[in-house]
A and B are shown apart, each in its own frame.
Chain A
Amino acid sequence: MRHSRRKVLKAGAALAVTAGIPGRAFAQAGPVKVGMSMPQTGSLGAGGQAALVALRLWVDDVNQRGGLLNRKVELIAYDDQTNPANVPGIYTKLLDVDKVDLIIAPYGTVPTAPLMPMAKQRGLLVMGNFSFQVNAKVQHDMWFNNAPWNNASSWSDGFFAHGRKLGAKTVAFLAADQEFAQNLANGARELAKKGNIKAVYDQNYPPTTTDFSSLVRGIRAAKPDMVFVMSYPNDSVAIVRAVNEIGIGSGVKMFGGGMVGLQFTPIMSSLGSLLNGIVNYNSYVPGMKYPGIEDFLKRYAQRAKEAKVDPLGFYLPPFNYAIGQMLEQAVNGAKSLEHKQLAAYLKKNEMKTVVGPIRYGPDGEWANARVVQAQFRGVVDKDVEQFRSPARQVVIYPDAYKTGEVIAPFEKARKAKA
């Protein structure tokens, strides 16, 4: 009688305990805190908001699987407003007040630049987030970027190669005076020289410039064959509008190249038909086959709708999700949160992510670049869903992903039907 009562009591207790735990039980050591600054307002804001949705999706996914080392993962993200001056304070707070275990870089070269010396001085592992050559001067050996480019060549080769095919001999450079554009501009100038392309116009502008009519007039007067623009979202939009207002000249064969922001869904839908003809870089356009990406985009779209953010999620979200995946593989592989061990693991192994396999070169960038140059065609105004069709962004480089030939000159391509 007593035995059975004890048994019932024990069973009842066990039942009560397990009924109280929702899902998996986490270890007692407290959560694994992942900290970052993410530009959610300011020039990069639209992209940053979408990226954050993808990261939060990964956090939920990994917690479903039991977290990292059996501890729940918690993401702490502050808004740096695309202002590099805010970044040192935010990361100092993350490290010394919030006491995070792992850090991710902010989205974008400009906010990431101030983080690099700090990370090197404190010996921290940094997961990069779509920066371009931001580690070139500091040369921190625990830096791992998630972007499909490595050096300037990987980015600009496609643009110049096509220009040469069309018979272009001259180029106009227009670059914002900030870390991203200047890194790209330095590389692009070298490539133009090597390719015997003459720069007939080369101007930097302060990142706060809002009126580009004078600059566009200057470019037009120089009569270049190609116009290579390196700009951030606010300026990219203003430049596209200025070109539409003032005109860039009928002799320009190709326009675009390094304009950040023309990949953000809100900007694409607000510019609409003004985008037509522009040849610009991208990380992913519909039609590119990465294993698992279609499924990711579907799940992302649901979360994006709730968060009232970019519903398509093409440019940044898959690559931000990949950061999470890489951290997960490194932590599970090294079985530790210690930065040096994680860095060693990331250097040696190939990561499997929703954007394909990623292997790192010695500088912390991808060993094999995968940037595409695509031309906008047949875009109409005020339609977000149209961008799901591969025909809207025709990939002209590299050959592995090519879907069409570039239409030149630029003015003709602006009017071409899809």
Chain B
Amino acid sequence: MFFSFELLLEALMFGVLLGCFYAAVSIGLSVSFGLLDVPHVAHPAIMVLGSYATYLVAGQGLDPILSGVLLMPVFFVVGVLVYRFYYESFERRGTEAGVRGLAFFFGLAFIIEIGLILVFGVDQRTVEAAYIGESLELGEYRVPYRMLVAFGVALVLTFALTLYLSRTFTGRAIKAVAQDEPALRLMGANPVRIKQWAFGIATGVSALAGAMLIVVGPVEPAIDRLYIGRTFCIVVLAGLGSMTGTLVAGLILGIAESMVLMFFGASWAPAVAFSLLLLVLGVRPQGLFGR
């Protein structure tokens, strides 16, 4: 493969942008799986649902990122309902919730994916915006604006969520319920309501993630399968429940993928996330910043 310093620098830059985007896409999972221990394999599917919802709203003439923000409250409610259903059916009863919980979310992911195919068909969908298709020229390098927008939104989102979890009352309650649920109950707070709220936030964030997804590139219903690997790789590499860890892990994955793409070819890139995941699970399952 062709090697040059310029290419390396470009790959690195692209990797950073890509990595932050991946981190933003995984942050919802960091909350729902990392903090709440919900086996949420349907997270990428809900994000793709967010992409299609953005496609519909943006089709009315709105900016895609704005559409994503507007959809966040809607998805928050969806998240609360899904968690409520999950809790009533599985967590409460406790018996071998492992197999059934997993099967439930897997089934849910499939239903969402096939639902999208039935409604929208298998064709790729894109959105249009002033910043999609143009690049910023920095001397020799050209950086696509769509990546910069996703990068910016990702940083803002991660920062906001980290602040929320560490500074606000409910945020700290969410972290508390992740650490020690019985203790929280003894203190008089209702853990179920807190978890419900947290899951709602995670799902709301997924709506914005979906908007970013369709800004960065075309989406089609089956794209969630590829993102299962990326999101879980990042969440596990980060260490369950760490928000800053998610950003770091995202960067690592983004740069790794970009390097493989540049120097080994596009046919190896899809395996990077999954290979990294297996590596982390085998070598250091608690991740980088794990609890």
Q: Do chains A and B make direct contact within the complex (CB under 8 angstroms)? A: yes
Which residues of A are in contact with B by a Cβ distance under 8 Å? Answer: 41-42, 45, 81-83, 177, 201, 203-206, 209-211, 213-215, 217-218, 221-222, 234, 238, 241, 244-247
Q: Do A204 and B133 have beta carbons less than 8 Å apart?
A: no
Q: Do A246 and B265 have beta carbons less than 8 Å apart?
A: no
Question: In chain B, residues 187-206, which have Cβ atoms closer than 8 Å to a Cβ of chain A?
Answer: none
Distance in Å: Cβ of B95 to nearest Cβ of chain A: 39
| A211 and B135 contact, Cβ closer than 8 Å, known pairs A42-B122, A204-B265, A217-B10 | no
Chain B contacts of A214 at CB under 8 A? Answer: 11, 14, 258, 261-262, 266
What's the Cα separation between A177 and B258 when bound, in Å? 20
The tally of residues in B whose CB lies under 8 Å from a CB in A reads: 26
Chain A contacts of B98 at CB under 8 A? Answer: none
What's the Cα separation between A345 and B166 when bound, in Å? 80
Chain A contacts of B37 at CB under 8 A? Answer: none
Q: Do A221 and B261 have beta carbons less than 8 Å apart?
A: no
What's the Cα separation between A210 and B124 when bound, in Å? 10
What's the Cα separation between A242 and B217 when bound, in Å? 11
Closest to B128 in A: A270
Number of A-B contacts (CB under 8 A): 65
What's the Cα separation between A322 and B277 when bound, in Å? 53
Known pairs A210-B217, A234-B124, A247-B142; list 5 more (Cβ under 8 Å): A41-B122, A83-B122, A206-B270, A244-B133, A245-B142
A245 touches which one: B144, B258, B266, B270 (CB < 8 A)?
A: B144
Tell whether B169 is near chain A: CB-to-CB under 8 Å: no
B134 touches which one: A42, A201, A245 (CB < 8 A)?
A: A245
Distance in Å: Cβ of A206 to nearest Cβ of chain B: 5
What's the Cα separation between A250 and B121 when bound, in Å? 39
What are 25 of the A-B contact pairs (CB < 8 Å)? A41-B121, A41-B123, A42-B122, A42-B123, A82-B122, A204-B265, A204-B266, A204-B267, A206-B267, A210-B124, A210-B217, A210-B218, A211-B216, A214-B11, A214-B258, A214-B261, A215-B261, A218-B2, A218-B262, A221-B6, A244-B133, A245-B144, A246-B135, A246-B144, A247-B142
A203 touches which one: B10, B122, B142, B266 (CB < 8 A)?
A: B266
What's the Cα separation between A209 and B217 when bound, in Å? 10
Closest to A217 in B: B10
